[in-house]
Chain A
Protein backbone atom coordinates (compact mmCIF):
# COMPACT_ATOMS: atom_id res chain seq x y z
CA UNK A 1 0.00 0.00 0.00
CA UNK A 2 1.46 3.32 -1.04
CA UNK A 3 1.53 5.98 1.65
CA UNK A 4 0.38 9.53 0.98
CA UNK A 5 2.07 12.43 2.72
CA UNK A 6 -0.98 14.23 4.11
CA UNK A 7 -2.36 10.99 5.60
CA UNK A 8 1.04 10.21 7.10
CA UNK A 9 1.47 13.63 8.72
CA UNK A 10 -2.14 13.66 9.98
CA UNK A 11 -1.60 10.27 11.56
CA UNK A 12 1.71 11.34 13.14
CA UNK A 13 0.14 14.47 14.64
CA UNK A 14 -3.08 12.83 15.85
CA UNK A 15 -3.50 13.20 19.63
CA UNK A 16 -0.20 15.05 19.71
CA UNK A 17 -0.52 16.24 23.29
CA UNK A 18 2.15 18.82 24.08
CA UNK A 19 4.44 17.79 21.20
CA UNK A 20 6.52 20.64 19.73
CA UNK A 21 6.73 20.55 15.92
CA UNK A 22 9.18 22.12 13.48
CA UNK A 23 8.50 21.64 9.76
CA UNK A 24 11.01 22.15 6.97
CA UNK A 25 10.18 24.51 4.14
CA UNK A 26 7.91 23.46 1.34
CA UNK A 27 5.55 20.51 1.33
CA UNK A 28 6.08 19.46 4.95
CA UNK A 29 5.17 22.96 6.15
CA UNK A 30 1.93 22.67 4.18
CA UNK A 31 1.39 19.12 5.48
CA UNK A 32 1.54 20.08 9.17
CA UNK A 33 -0.78 22.98 8.43
CA UNK A 34 -3.26 20.70 6.68
CA UNK A 35 -3.24 18.57 9.84
CA UNK A 36 -4.25 21.66 11.83
CA UNK A 37 -2.35 24.90 12.34
CA UNK A 38 -1.48 25.41 16.00
CA UNK A 39 0.78 27.74 17.96
CA UNK A 40 3.18 24.91 18.75
CA UNK A 41 3.88 24.40 15.05
CA UNK A 42 6.84 26.25 13.59
CA UNK A 43 6.53 25.90 9.81
CA UNK A 44 9.58 27.23 7.98
CA UNK A 45 9.32 29.26 4.79
CA UNK A 46 13.06 29.42 4.15
CA UNK A 47 16.46 28.60 5.69
CA UNK A 48 16.55 25.35 3.74
CA UNK A 49 18.59 22.72 5.54
CA UNK A 50 18.02 24.08 9.05
CA UNK A 51 14.87 22.24 10.20
CA UNK A 52 16.74 19.46 12.04
CA UNK A 53 19.05 21.98 13.71
CA UNK A 54 16.08 24.04 14.89
CA UNK A 55 14.76 20.84 16.38
CA UNK A 56 18.07 20.25 18.14
CA UNK A 57 18.16 23.76 19.59
CA UNK A 58 14.59 23.42 20.80
CA UNK A 59 15.18 19.93 22.23
CA UNK A 60 18.22 21.15 24.20
CA UNK A 61 16.28 24.14 25.52
CA UNK A 62 13.21 22.06 26.45
CA UNK A 63 14.53 18.69 27.63
CA UNK A 64 11.23 17.72 29.23
CA UNK A 65 9.20 18.17 26.03
CA UNK A 66 9.10 15.92 22.98
CA UNK A 67 10.27 17.66 19.81
CA UNK A 68 9.40 16.46 16.31
CA UNK A 69 11.03 17.71 13.12
CA UNK A 70 9.04 16.85 10.01
CA UNK A 71 10.86 17.65 6.83
CA UNK A 72 11.34 16.62 3.22
CA UNK A 73 14.12 14.59 1.64
CA UNK A 74 15.51 17.59 -0.26
CA UNK A 75 15.57 19.75 2.86
CA UNK A 76 17.23 16.99 4.90
CA UNK A 77 19.86 16.41 2.23
CA UNK A 78 20.80 20.09 2.31
CA UNK A 79 21.40 19.85 6.08
CA UNK A 80 22.77 16.33 6.15
CA UNK A 81 25.69 17.33 8.39
CA UNK A 82 23.20 18.22 11.10
CA UNK A 83 22.53 14.49 11.55
CA UNK A 84 26.14 14.14 12.70
CA UNK A 85 25.75 17.15 15.00
CA UNK A 86 22.59 15.70 16.55
CA UNK A 87 24.31 12.33 16.92
CA UNK A 88 27.01 13.95 19.02
CA UNK A 89 24.47 15.72 21.28
CA UNK A 90 22.17 12.67 21.74
CA UNK A 91 18.99 14.57 22.65
CA UNK A 92 16.64 11.91 24.06
CA UNK A 93 13.57 14.05 23.31
CA UNK A 94 14.12 14.65 19.57
CA UNK A 95 12.74 12.79 16.57
CA UNK A 96 13.39 13.68 12.93
CA UNK A 97 10.92 12.31 10.37
CA UNK A 98 11.65 12.70 6.66
CA UNK A 99 8.62 12.55 4.38
CA UNK A 100 10.45 11.14 1.38
CA UNK A 101 8.80 11.53 -2.02
CA UNK A 102 12.20 11.44 -3.77
CA UNK A 103 11.39 14.78 -5.37
CA UNK A 104 11.93 18.53 -4.99
CA UNK A 105 8.22 19.24 -4.80
CA UNK A 106 8.23 23.03 -4.93
CA UNK A 107 10.49 23.45 -7.94
CA UNK A 108 9.09 21.07 -10.54
CA UNK A 109 9.34 17.59 -8.99
CA UNK A 110 12.98 17.05 -9.91
CA UNK A 111 14.50 13.86 -8.49
CA UNK A 112 16.44 14.13 -5.23
CA UNK A 113 19.40 11.96 -4.29
CA UNK A 114 17.06 9.55 -2.49
CA UNK A 115 15.48 8.70 -5.86
CA UNK A 116 18.83 7.21 -6.81
CA UNK A 117 19.09 5.15 -3.66
CA UNK A 118 20.77 7.45 -1.16
CA UNK A 119 19.47 6.11 2.14
CA UNK A 120 18.92 8.75 4.83
CA UNK A 121 17.89 6.12 7.38
CA UNK A 122 21.33 4.52 7.10
CA UNK A 123 22.99 7.92 7.34
CA UNK A 124 21.12 8.67 10.57
CA UNK A 125 22.00 5.26 12.00
CA UNK A 126 25.65 5.85 11.16
CA UNK A 127 25.36 9.23 12.90
CA UNK A 128 24.44 7.50 16.19
CA UNK A 129 20.67 8.07 16.18
CA UNK A 130 19.33 5.61 18.75
CA UNK A 131 16.61 4.30 16.45
CA UNK A 132 16.47 4.81 12.69
CA UNK A 133 13.80 3.16 10.55
CA UNK A 134 12.22 3.32 7.12
CA UNK A 135 8.42 3.04 6.87
CA UNK A 136 6.69 2.12 3.64
CA UNK A 137 3.37 0.57 4.75
CA UNK A 138 2.16 2.32 7.91
CA UNK A 139 3.39 4.75 10.52
CA UNK A 140 2.70 2.93 13.79
CA UNK A 141 6.41 2.32 14.38
CA UNK A 142 7.16 5.94 13.54
CA UNK A 143 4.63 7.14 16.13
CA UNK A 144 6.41 4.96 18.67
CA UNK A 145 9.69 6.77 17.93
CA UNK A 146 8.07 10.20 18.07
CA UNK A 147 6.05 9.78 21.28
CA UNK A 148 7.62 7.01 23.34
CA UNK A 149 11.12 5.70 22.57
CA UNK A 150 14.13 7.58 23.92
CA UNK A 151 15.94 9.36 21.09
CA UNK A 152 17.46 10.79 19.13
CA UNK A 153 15.23 8.96 16.66
CA UNK A 154 14.97 9.11 12.89
CA UNK A 155 12.47 7.81 10.38
CA UNK A 156 12.17 7.95 6.63
CA UNK A 157 8.59 7.57 5.45
CA UNK A 158 8.41 6.72 1.77
CA UNK A 159 5.41 8.45 0.16
CA UNK A 160 3.91 8.90 -3.29
CA UNK A 161 4.99 11.97 -5.24
CA UNK A 162 1.52 13.53 -5.02
CA UNK A 163 1.15 17.14 -6.08
CA UNK A 164 -1.38 18.51 -3.61
CA UNK A 165 -3.26 21.74 -3.01
CA UNK A 166 -1.27 24.21 -0.91
CA UNK A 167 -2.44 24.64 2.68
CA UNK A 168 -0.48 27.63 3.83
CA UNK A 169 0.42 28.56 7.42
CA UNK A 170 1.01 32.18 8.45
CA UNK A 171 4.17 33.46 6.78
CA UNK A 172 5.00 36.35 9.10
CA UNK A 173 8.13 35.05 10.80
CA UNK A 174 7.75 37.32 13.82
CA UNK A 175 4.23 36.02 14.38
CA UNK A 176 5.35 32.40 14.06
CA UNK A 177 8.20 32.93 16.53
CA UNK A 178 6.16 34.94 19.03
CA UNK A 179 3.10 32.69 19.05
CA UNK A 180 5.26 29.60 19.54
CA UNK A 181 7.17 31.14 22.46
CA UNK A 182 3.99 32.46 24.11
CA UNK A 183 2.29 29.08 23.84
CA UNK A 184 5.36 27.25 25.18
CA UNK A 185 6.71 29.69 27.75
CA UNK A 186 3.58 31.57 28.77
CA UNK A 187 3.91 35.16 29.90
CA UNK A 188 7.60 34.60 30.62
CA UNK A 189 8.12 34.58 26.85
CA UNK A 190 8.00 38.35 27.05
CA UNK A 191 10.92 38.74 29.46
CA UNK A 192 14.52 37.60 29.33
CA UNK A 193 15.40 34.28 31.00
CA UNK A 194 17.22 36.00 33.91
CA UNK A 195 14.14 38.13 34.66
CA UNK A 196 11.75 35.19 34.97
Chain B
Protein backbone atom coordinates (compact mmCIF):
# COMPACT_ATOMS: atom_id res chain seq x y z
CA UNK B 1 0.00 0.00 0.00
CA UNK B 2 1.26 3.51 -0.85
CA UNK B 3 2.13 5.58 2.19
CA UNK B 4 0.20 8.83 2.61
CA UNK B 5 3.18 10.89 1.47
CA UNK B 6 1.54 14.35 1.57
CA UNK B 7 0.59 13.72 5.20
CA UNK B 8 4.13 12.55 5.91
CA UNK B 9 5.58 15.71 4.34
CA UNK B 10 3.23 17.81 6.46
CA UNK B 11 4.47 16.00 9.57
CA UNK B 12 8.05 16.76 8.58
CA UNK B 13 7.25 20.45 8.12
CA UNK B 14 5.53 20.57 11.50
CA UNK B 15 8.35 18.73 13.26
CA UNK B 16 10.93 21.10 11.76
CA UNK B 17 9.00 24.18 12.85
CA UNK B 18 8.25 25.47 9.35
CA UNK B 19 5.90 28.45 9.66
CA UNK B 20 5.73 29.84 6.11
CA UNK B 21 4.71 27.76 3.09
CA UNK B 22 4.82 29.50 -0.29
CA UNK B 23 3.19 27.72 -3.20
CA UNK B 24 2.06 27.83 -6.76
CA UNK B 25 -0.60 25.13 -7.00
CA UNK B 26 0.00 21.81 -8.67
CA UNK B 27 -2.39 18.89 -8.80
CA UNK B 28 0.31 16.76 -7.21
CA UNK B 29 0.52 19.14 -4.24
CA UNK B 30 -3.24 19.51 -3.77
CA UNK B 31 -3.49 17.53 -0.53
CA UNK B 32 -0.32 18.96 1.02
CA UNK B 33 -1.47 22.52 0.25
CA UNK B 34 -4.79 21.79 1.96
CA UNK B 35 -3.02 20.35 5.00
CA UNK B 36 -0.83 23.45 5.27
CA UNK B 37 -3.78 25.82 4.81
CA UNK B 38 -5.65 24.06 7.62
CA UNK B 39 -2.66 24.19 9.99
CA UNK B 40 -2.79 27.23 12.30
CA UNK B 41 0.96 26.98 12.96
CA UNK B 42 1.71 27.75 9.30
CA UNK B 43 1.04 30.66 6.98
CA UNK B 44 0.21 29.32 3.51
CA UNK B 45 1.10 31.96 0.92
CA UNK B 46 -0.22 31.54 -2.63
CA UNK B 47 2.17 33.10 -5.15
CA UNK B 48 1.47 34.48 -8.62
CA UNK B 49 4.76 33.02 -9.86
CA UNK B 50 7.35 30.75 -8.28
CA UNK B 51 9.92 33.55 -8.41
CA UNK B 52 8.05 35.31 -5.61
CA UNK B 53 8.78 32.36 -3.37
CA UNK B 54 12.49 33.13 -3.36
CA UNK B 55 11.91 36.63 -2.00
CA UNK B 56 9.42 35.22 0.52
CA UNK B 57 11.87 32.60 1.79
CA UNK B 58 14.72 35.09 2.06
CA UNK B 59 12.60 37.66 3.89
CA UNK B 60 11.20 35.07 6.29
CA UNK B 61 14.71 33.89 7.18
CA UNK B 62 15.90 37.46 7.73
CA UNK B 63 13.07 37.56 10.28
CA UNK B 64 14.06 34.22 11.83
CA UNK B 65 11.39 31.90 10.43
CA UNK B 66 11.71 28.66 8.46
CA UNK B 67 9.82 28.19 5.21
CA UNK B 68 9.39 25.81 2.31
CA UNK B 69 8.22 26.29 -1.28
CA UNK B 70 5.85 23.96 -3.13
CA UNK B 71 5.74 24.00 -6.91
CA UNK B 72 5.54 22.00 -10.10
CA UNK B 73 8.62 21.24 -12.20
CA UNK B 74 7.63 23.80 -14.84
CA UNK B 75 7.84 26.50 -12.16
CA UNK B 76 11.50 25.75 -11.55
CA UNK B 77 12.15 27.42 -14.88
CA UNK B 78 10.83 30.69 -13.46
CA UNK B 79 13.47 30.79 -10.73
CA UNK B 80 16.80 30.87 -12.47
CA UNK B 81 18.07 34.41 -11.91
CA UNK B 82 16.67 34.88 -8.42
CA UNK B 83 18.33 31.65 -7.23
CA UNK B 84 21.51 33.69 -7.52
CA UNK B 85 20.49 35.60 -4.39
CA UNK B 86 20.07 32.34 -2.48
CA UNK B 87 23.60 31.35 -3.44
CA UNK B 88 25.35 34.66 -2.90
CA UNK B 89 23.66 35.32 0.48
CA UNK B 90 23.56 31.64 1.51
CA UNK B 91 19.89 31.74 2.41
CA UNK B 92 18.51 28.34 3.44
CA UNK B 93 16.04 27.11 0.79
CA UNK B 94 13.81 24.04 0.67
CA UNK B 95 11.77 23.38 -2.45
CA UNK B 96 9.38 20.45 -2.83
CA UNK B 97 8.77 19.95 -6.52
CA UNK B 98 6.19 17.66 -8.11
CA UNK B 99 7.42 16.44 -11.47
CA UNK B 100 5.73 16.62 -14.84
CA UNK B 101 7.08 15.54 -18.20
CA UNK B 102 7.98 12.08 -16.95
CA UNK B 103 6.47 8.61 -17.08
CA UNK B 104 2.76 8.91 -17.84
CA UNK B 105 2.86 12.49 -19.14
CA UNK B 106 0.06 13.38 -21.54
CA UNK B 107 1.01 16.99 -22.33
CA UNK B 108 4.06 17.49 -24.56
CA UNK B 109 4.37 21.13 -23.41
CA UNK B 110 5.32 19.88 -19.94
CA UNK B 111 8.19 17.76 -21.23
CA UNK B 112 11.00 20.25 -21.99
CA UNK B 113 11.04 21.76 -18.50
CA UNK B 114 10.39 18.42 -16.84
CA UNK B 115 13.41 16.91 -18.58
CA UNK B 116 15.55 19.88 -17.53
CA UNK B 117 14.38 20.47 -13.98
CA UNK B 118 17.22 18.71 -12.15
CA UNK B 119 19.88 20.16 -14.42
CA UNK B 120 18.54 23.71 -14.09
CA UNK B 121 18.54 23.42 -10.30
CA UNK B 122 22.03 21.94 -10.18
CA UNK B 123 23.31 24.61 -12.55
CA UNK B 124 22.17 27.20 -9.99
CA UNK B 125 23.77 25.26 -7.10
CA UNK B 126 20.59 23.78 -5.64
CA UNK B 127 21.17 20.23 -4.39
CA UNK B 128 18.66 17.83 -5.93
CA UNK B 129 17.12 14.86 -4.12
CA UNK B 130 15.09 12.53 -6.34
CA UNK B 131 12.15 10.87 -4.59
CA UNK B 132 11.36 8.09 -7.05
CA UNK B 133 8.77 6.29 -4.98
CA UNK B 134 6.27 7.19 -2.29
CA UNK B 135 8.21 5.44 0.48
CA UNK B 136 11.21 7.74 0.11
CA UNK B 137 9.47 11.13 -0.08
CA UNK B 138 9.31 11.96 3.64
CA UNK B 139 12.91 10.91 4.21
CA UNK B 140 14.12 13.18 1.44
CA UNK B 141 12.10 16.11 2.81
CA UNK B 142 13.50 15.47 6.29
CA UNK B 143 17.04 15.44 4.93
CA UNK B 144 16.48 18.54 2.78
CA UNK B 145 15.15 20.64 5.65
CA UNK B 146 17.94 19.49 7.93
CA UNK B 147 20.69 20.24 5.43
CA UNK B 148 19.23 23.54 4.30
CA UNK B 149 18.97 25.00 7.79
CA UNK B 150 22.00 23.37 9.39
CA UNK B 151 24.34 24.29 6.54
CA UNK B 152 22.71 27.36 4.95
CA UNK B 153 22.19 25.53 1.68
CA UNK B 154 19.66 25.19 -1.10
CA UNK B 155 17.83 21.88 -1.42
CA UNK B 156 15.14 20.59 -3.76
CA UNK B 157 13.16 17.36 -3.45
CA UNK B 158 11.78 16.21 -6.80
CA UNK B 159 8.78 13.92 -6.42
CA UNK B 160 8.55 11.66 -9.46
CA UNK B 161 5.45 11.80 -11.62
CA UNK B 162 4.83 8.11 -11.07
CA UNK B 163 4.42 8.86 -7.33
CA UNK B 164 1.75 11.43 -8.15
CA UNK B 165 0.20 9.12 -10.70
CA UNK B 166 -1.74 11.61 -12.83
CA UNK B 167 -2.01 10.38 -16.39
CA UNK B 168 -4.77 12.40 -18.02
CA UNK B 169 -6.42 15.80 -17.97
CA UNK B 170 -9.58 14.17 -16.65
CA UNK B 171 -7.74 12.63 -13.71
CA UNK B 172 -6.10 15.97 -12.97
CA UNK B 173 -9.46 17.74 -12.98
CA UNK B 174 -11.01 15.07 -10.80
CA UNK B 175 -8.28 15.33 -8.13
Binding site for B on A (CB under 8 A): 20, 22, 42, 44-62, 79, 81-82, 84-85, 88-89, 173-174, 176-177, 180-181, 184-185, 188-189, 192-194
Whether the pair A57, B56 counts as a contact (CB closer than 8 A) is: yes
B43 at the interface (CB under 8 A from A): yes
Interface magnitude class on chain B: 35 or more
Q: How far is the CA of A44 from the CA of B58 in the complex (A)?
A: 11
The smallest C-beta distance from A129 to any residue of chain B, in angstroms, reads 15
| 18 A-B interface contacts by CB (under 8 A) | A45-B88, A47-B54, A50-B58, A53-B52, A55-B59, A57-B65, A59-B59, A60-B60, A61-B59, A61-B63, A81-B47, A84-B48, A88-B46, A89-B45, A180-B62, A192-B66, A192-B149, A192-B150
Q: How far is the CA of A20 from the CA of B85 in the complex (A)?
A: 19
B7 at the interface (CB under 8 A from A): no
B67 at the interface (CB under 8 A from A): yes
Whether the pair A50, B55 counts as a contact (CB closer than 8 A) is: yes
Chain A residues in 8 Å Cβ range of B59? 22, 53-61
B82 at the interface (CB under 8 A from A): yes
Closest B residue to A42 by CB, please name it: B62
Q: How far is the CA of A62 from the CA of B45 in the complex (A)?
A: 16
B119 at the interface (CB under 8 A from A): no
Closest A residue to B83 by CB, please name it: A47
Provided the pairs A50-B55, A58-B60, A61-B64 are in contact, do residues A174 and B84 lie with their beta carbons within 8 angstroms? no
Q: A50-B58, A51-B55, A193-B64 are known contacts; what are 16 more A-B pairs with Cβ within 8 Å?
A: A47-B55, A47-B85, A53-B53, A54-B56, A58-B59, A81-B47, A81-B49, A82-B52, A85-B45, A89-B45, A173-B89, A174-B88, A177-B62, A177-B90, A192-B17, A194-B16
Whether the pair B55, A56 counts as a contact (CB closer than 8 A) is: yes
B174 at the interface (CB under 8 A from A): no
Q: How far is the CA of A180 from the CA of B58 in the complex (A)?
A: 12
Shortest Cβ-Cβ A-B pairs, 10 listed: A57-B59, A61-B63, A53-B55, A81-B48, A173-B89, A50-B55, A54-B59, A57-B60, A47-B85, A61-B65
The smallest C-beta distance from A131 to any residue of chain B, in angstroms, reads 21
Binary contact track B96-138/A, C-beta < 8 Å → 1, others 0: 0000000000000000000000000000000000000000000
Name the contact of B88 in the complex, choosing from A48, A52, A173 (C-beta under 8 A).
A173
Chain A residues in 8 Å Cβ range of B52? 50, 53, 79, 81-82, 85
The smallest C-beta distance from B91 to any residue of chain A, in angstroms, reads 7
Binary contact track B137-158/A, C-beta < 8 Å → 1, others 0: 0000000000001100000000
Whether the pair B56, A53 counts as a contact (CB closer than 8 A) is: yes
B26 at the interface (CB under 8 A from A): no
Closest B residue to A89 by CB, please name it: B45
Q: How far is the CA of A190 from the CA of B9 in the complex (A)?
A: 26
Q: How far is the CA of A81 from the CA of B49 in the complex (A)?
A: 8
The smallest C-beta distance from B80 to any residue of chain A, in angstroms, reads 11
- Greatest chain B CB density within 10 A among A54, A55, A184, A192 is at A54
Closest A residue to B89 by CB, please name it: A173
Chain B residues in 8 Å Cβ range of A58? 59-60, 62-63
